[in-house]
Amino acid sequence: MQPLKKSNVMLTAKERRCYRVAQGYRRQFLLRGVFSVYRIVWPYLLSRVAWSRDWWRRAAQFILLLLLWPLIVLWGLLEYMVLLVRFPVEFIGTYRVPKTVRSPGEKTLAGIHNAFQQVLELPEGMYIRCIDDWLPILFGKRGEGQLMMAFVDRERQRQRAAEVSEFQLAAQMRSELAVAREKLSKRLGHYLSNQNAEA
The whole-number pLDDT of residue 8 equals 60
For 131-186, the pLDDT digits (tens) are 999 988 888 877 777 678 777 777 667 666 665 555 565 566 667 777 778 878 88
Domain ranges of the chain: 2-197
Task: Please state, in angstroms and as integers, the Cα–Cα distance from residue 69 to each residue in 57, 77, 80, following that order.
Answer: 18, 12, 16
Cα 17 to Cα 109: distance, rounded to the nearest angstrom: 14
The whole-number pLDDT of residue 196 equals 44
Long-range pairs, 42-45, Cβ under 8 A, ≥24: 42/76, 43/72, 43/75, 43/76, 43/79, 44/79, 45/75
The whole-number pLDDT of residue 81 equals 92
CA dihedral 90, 127, 178, 14 (to 10 degrees): -90
User: Average pLDDT, stretch 2-11?
Assistant: 64
Q: What is the mean pLDDT of the chain?
A: 80
Phi, psi at 10, each rounded to 5°: -85, 120
The whole-number pLDDT of residue 198 equals 43
